[in-house]
Amino acid sequence: MGAIDAEVSDLLGKTLVEVTQHGDDVLFFATECGKEYRMYHYQNCCEDVHINDICGDLSDLIGHPLLMAEEVTSEEEPPEGDSDYSYTWTFYKFATIKGDVTIRWFGSSNGYYSESVDFELLEEEK
């Protein structure tokens, strides 16, 4: 299965039929139109990027068109006691008429590695 880079805003207006979480570093979003997206981070040696918190119920995103699908990042307020040099908080905000969900990712590294979250459209190879 191949993948192409996408933006979380690509989900705006789409209806999700399933959201699946695998551990603390992968989420899959399946749409009514048959597309599947993956939100994850490919880990390197000197970094840690993971889902820190999910505020809301992922099931509220199922069965209704997404009215909001956005990404916001911040490099402020690192957790106390962590010795890494670089921090990134990435917030993904989703909403339907049923409710809203914020997925908060936290990335830390020595400053030389990516702390970003990847979002991609999965495609079946032909």
- The count of C-alpha atoms lying within 13 angstroms of the C-alpha of 122, restricted to the half-sphere facing its C-beta, is 14
Asked if 100 and 68 count as a contact pair (C-beta separation under 8 A), the reply is: yes
Tens of pLDDT, residue by residue over 57-82, are 999 999 999 999 999 998 766 655 55
Structural Rg of the chain based on CA atoms = 15
The whole-angstrom separation of Cα 64 and Cα 116 is 28
pLDDT class for 114, splitting at 50, 70, 90?
A: confident
| Domain extent for 68 | 2-123
| Mean pLDDT computed over every residue of the chain | 89
Read off the DSSP letter of residue 45.
T
Question: What is the per-residue pLDDT for 43?
Answer: 76
Complete edge-to-edge strand list for the sheet that includes strand 2-5: 2-5, 118-123, 36-40, 26-31, 16-22
Whether the pLDDT of residue 3 is over 90: the answer is no
pLDDT class for 104, splitting at 50, 70, 90?
A: very high
Question: How many structural domains comprise the chain?
Answer: 1
Please give the share of the chain, as a percent, with pLDDT higher than 70: 89
